[in-house]
Amino acid sequence: MRTIRIDLDVIAANYKTLKELTGGIVMAIVKADAFGHGMIEVSKKLESINVDILGTADLEEAMALREAGIKSPIMAWLYSKTTEFEEAIKNDIELGASTLVTLEKIGSASKKVGLVAKVHLKVDTGLGRNGAALADWPGVIQKAIELRDSGAIELVGVFSHLSGTSEKDDLEQLRVFEEAIETASKLGATFKIHHIAASLAALRYPSTRLDMTRIGAALYGLDPGLETNMRQYGLLPAMRVTSEVVHVKKVSSGHSLSYGYLHSTTGESTLALVPFGYNEGFPRISTGKAEVFLNGKKYKVLARVAMDQFILDLGTDTAEIGDEVVIIGDGTKGEPTVEELAKAAGTINDEIVTKMGGRAKRVFS
């Protein structure tokens, strides 16, 4: 009744396209279950085409990849107070670090297991998330040099993250990043890999690509800015979400529908029941704005989306039980896109795809 179809070949093709476009190392971001596309399956597909490196946020995600047999390089950068790094170092997971405490814990774990930890230092250039504050950066560098010289860590990379606010803002962050790298150099720290650009900057601002780009949204054919035609870059969406009609009936004019009676029929109408609700990731807040595709035509979901289902008012049109209903599909065929659903819900496409699931069956092809 509910299917989330993931085209792994499309993801692989997108990765190759991004490699050619950026001209450098491409980290494939597979955090958050690969943006809802299936972290293990996507990672195995990318490994089969010799992905440069995989990126997760949580260390637990990276460890899950190793447990699944993934041997490609992996980087993680988000930890808690209780995170321990011994197993990550044993499993050759590259680690982001931006505080003295984290560096000290990594150094201690490295000495404990007798292996050199691969570290990327992060500086905050304006986003305000993790990353060393500029005032703290020299101290972080000095600690990293101390650990490097003791043989505990290898300084593999230096990185930051852009806000995506505007070209001016992103390029200003790039300038701050370059100054931070210069500061590190003067103190005696050098890095093999410099990286700051995610999908948006990698596509729009070539000067931000540096040695490596971290590509998430664009890898899955998602527009990182909600205003870009991804097909102009040769990037295609990899997720298709469908359900089906499970009940059909005719009702008279003035028949009110679903919770809150937000919609009533204006004439004799055919109603079609579709078993896909907010439990599966169809946003309740998109009621009255989101559209789905049935029998070659778009219909607005006018009645309130419920946990398990929604109702379509087909007016004088008809439908049969079993007819496919496209929730996210191919915009070139007139089907609703994830960007359109995101707009209807007042959010971004990343949020829509990462929340798709519930009782829907994920199928890989």
- Provide the pLDDT for residue 314: 98
Query: Where residue 226 falls among pLDDT bands split at 50, 70, 90?
Result: low
* 232 within some domain: no
The verdict on 200 and 297 lying in the same domain is no
The verdict on 192 and 272 lying in the same domain is no
Asked if residue 59 has pLDDT above 90, the reply is yes
Asked if residue 225 has pLDDT above 90, the reply is no
* 60 within some domain: yes
The verdict on 132 and 199 lying in the same domain is yes
* 17 within some domain: yes
pTM, entire model:
0.97
Asked if residue 240 has pLDDT above 70, the reply is yes
What percent of the chain is predicted at pLDDT more than 70?
100
The verdict on 197 and 119 lying in the same domain is yes
Strands (E), 33-92: 53-55, 74-76
- Cβ neighbours of residue 20 under 8 Å, at least 6 residues apart? none
3 state DSSP class of 246: coil
Asked if residue 201 has pLDDT above 80, the reply is yes
Q: Which residues are catalytic?
A: 31, 259
Per DSSP, what are the bridge partners of residue 97?
121
The verdict on 47 and 121 lying in the same domain is yes
Q: Give the span between the Cα atoms of 11 and 17, in whole angstroms.
A: 10
Picking from 235, 211, 234, 204, the residue whose alpha carbon sits closest to that of residue 222 is 235
* CA end-to-end span of the chain: 18
Using the 3D structure, point to which of 164, 192, 221 is the last residue of a domain. 221
Cα radius of gyration (the chain): 24
The verdict on 50 and 189 lying in the same domain is yes
The verdict on 200 and 281 lying in the same domain is no
User: How many other CB atoms are there within 10 angstroms of residue 319's CB atom?
Assistant: 21
User: How many other CB atoms are there within 10 angstroms of residue 81's CB atom?
Assistant: 6
Q: Give the span between the Cα atoms of 159 and 192, in whole angstroms.
A: 11
User: What is the count of structural domains for the chain?
Assistant: 2
> Average pLDDT of 157-180?
98
The verdict on 318 and 208 lying in the same domain is no
* 348 within some domain: yes
Q: Give the span between the Cα atoms of 68 and 58, in whole angstroms.
A: 16
Using the 3D structure, point to which of 221, 255, 289 is the last residue of a domain. 221
* 229 within some domain: no
* 234 within some domain: no
Where residue 105 sits, what CATH number does that domain have?
3.20.20.10
Q: Which domain holds residue 278?
A: 239-364
Q: Calculate the alpha carbon distances from 192 to 57, 157, 210, 211, 326 in Å.
A: 21, 6, 11, 8, 46
Give the dihedral sign, CA 50/52/57/61: positive
User: How many other CB atoms are there within 10 angstroms of residue 171's CB atom?
Assistant: 15
> Average pLDDT of 326-344?
97
Torsion of CA 62, 132, 174, 32, to 10 degrees: 30
The verdict on 213 and 302 lying in the same domain is no
- Provide the pLDDT for residue 324: 98
What percent of the chain is predicted at pLDDT more than 90?
99
Give the dihedral sign, CA 17/18/22/27: negative
Q: Give the span between the Cα atoms of 103 and 96, in whole angstroms.
A: 9
The verdict on 112 and 202 lying in the same domain is yes
Where residue 283 sits, what CATH number does that domain have?
2.40.37.10
* 226 within some domain: no
